[in-house]
Amino acid sequence: MRKYNKRFLENIYRTMLRIRFCEESFVELIIKGTIRCPVHLYTGEEAVAVGVCAAIGSKDRIFGTHRSHGHYLAHGGSMSDLVAEIYGRGTGCARGRGGSMHVCAPDKNMMGAAPIVGGTISLALGSALTSKIKKEKSVTISFFGDGATGEGVLYESLNFASLKKLPIIFVCENNLYSTHMPIRECRVNTRIYEIAKPFCIESFRLNGNDVLKVYETTKKAVEICRKDKGPVFIEFLTYRMRGHVGPDDNIQRTHTDIRPKEEIEKWRKKDPIKNFEKILLKNKVVQKEKLDLIKKEVEKEVKNAHMLAEKSPYPKEKDLTKYVFKR
């Protein structure tokens, strides 16, 4: 822990907490029907988004998935804008037109997310190609889940990225389930990182719940890309603590959460935030009082974001086509 400064570690902790508290604040509202758009919660996977985004710069671009609130917040997106978008309000990051699965913050280089599995991989590829052509030193991060490994666009993108030595990092968040299907039932080889090897791409596989390991590996990948030796493929093993869509599939009554309770409890013990908190306290990086203060500050931020969203107007019908196309 000595090689990290105190402020850096506190920021890592705060950012993971911001994602967790924000995500959990939607639970009751979804159950009550206050929030009606489909919401894919990122609870449990915070270390991936935070570790990756801590290793890149503000000029580096990221592309998300249907479960991208964490990516958005980790790369500097406004929490107030995110919450307003999920409420469907006109002050949202997509002006109330996109909802949970279309979050974006182009001013922060969070270029967008999409509900189509693997839908942003080719867009990220185009971003990396732009950097190559313009001789920029920026790196593009393409986030996708294990389910996207069944999409042809991923393999086409891996091939093209390797062929052109593009500065792109393919980040697979493997939470072991493609919707409700265990990975072992939809892949012969569950070691996903190995799919990059035939394309001569350097690849890694590691614990996605260890935020510092995520950070260190991503930092190494970024250095490779900045030296024009990319692309890089990283598989992070992690786990979502909520249902595929919404808080809990059983509560929603639209699907059945087939995950064994023993498995869920096993992963609860690997909670990236709780374990990081233990590390901070054990190494005397911060005192418990400081962590409690950070929690209160984050809780206040989340509460204020919801208050602002509730007061914000819905998009007007006459403005339906506004903001849809850039002129």
pLDDT at 43: 96
| Secondary structure E strands in 26-182 | 61-63, 140-145, 168-174, 177-178, 181-182
Is pLDDT of 255 > 90?
A: no
95: three-class secondary structure by DSSP:
coil
Domain chopping of the chain, boundaries: 6-313
Average pLDDT estimate for 170-190: 91
Average pLDDT estimate for 184-205: 95
pLDDT at 248: 75
Q: Determine contact, residues 68/146, Cβ cutoff 8 Å.
A: no
pLDDT at 190: 93
Whole-angstrom distance between the N-terminal and C-terminal Cα of the chain?
49
Q: Which residues, 6 or more positions from 23, have their beta carbon under 8 angstroms from its beta carbon? A: 41, 42, 43, 69, 70, 242
113: three-class secondary structure by DSSP:
coil
284 sits in the region (left: phi over 0; alpha: psi -120 to 50; else beta) called left
Q: Cα–Cα distance between 104 and 101 in angstroms, integer?
A: 9
Tell which CATH classification among 3.40.50.300, 3.90.1300.10, 3.40.50.970, 3.30.1330.40 matches the domain 6-313. 3.40.50.970
Average pLDDT estimate for 298-309: 98
* Residue-wise pLDDT tens digits, 48-84: 999 999 999 999 999 999 999 999 999 999 999 999 9
pLDDT at 256: 58
pLDDT at 297: 98
pTM of full prediction above 0.75: yes
Q: Cα–Cα distance between 262 and 92 in angstroms, integer?
A: 38
Q: State how far Cα 126 lies from the chain centre.
A: 20
Q: Tokens representing 313? A: 């107007």
Q: Which of 130-134, 231-235, 251-255, 278-282 has the weakest average pLDDT?
A: 251-255
**Distances 195 to 114, 187, 189, 219 between C-alpha atoms, Å:** 23, 11, 9, 21
Query: From the DSSP assignment, how many helices (H) and strands (E) are in the chain?
Result: 12, 7
Q: Cα–Cα distance between 77 and 113 in angstroms, integer?
A: 13
pLDDT at 260: 87
Confidence of residue 133 (pLDDT cuts 50, 70, 90): very high
pLDDT at 60: 98
CB count in 10 Å sphere of residue 73: 26
H/E stretch holding 232: strand 232-237
Q: Determine contact, residues 42/15, Cβ cutoff 8 Å.
A: no
Q: Which residues pair with 172 in a beta bridge?
A: 144, 235
Q: Cα–Cα distance between 111 and 109 in angstroms, integer?
A: 5
Confidence of residue 3 (pLDDT cuts 50, 70, 90): confident
pLDDT at 169: 98
DSSP codes, 199-219: GT-EEEEEETT-HHHHHHHHH
pLDDT at 323: 79
Q: Which residues pair with 170 in a beta bridge?
A: 142, 233
Q: Cα–Cα distance between 125 and 168 in angstroms, integer?
A: 7
Most confident of the ranges 93-97, 157-161, 243-247: 157-161
Is pLDDT of 121 > 60?
A: yes
Q: Cα–Cα distance between 157 and 230 in angstroms, integer?
A: 13
Is pLDDT of 253 > 80?
A: no
pLDDT at 254: 53
Q: Cα–Cα distance between 90 and 105 in angstroms, integer?
A: 15
Is pLDDT of 270 > 90?
A: yes
* Residue-wise pLDDT tens digits, 151-177: 999 999 999 999 999 999 999 999 999
Is pLDDT of 145 > 90?
A: yes
DSSP codes, 59-92: TSEEE--SS-HHHHHHTT--HHHHHHHHHT-TTS
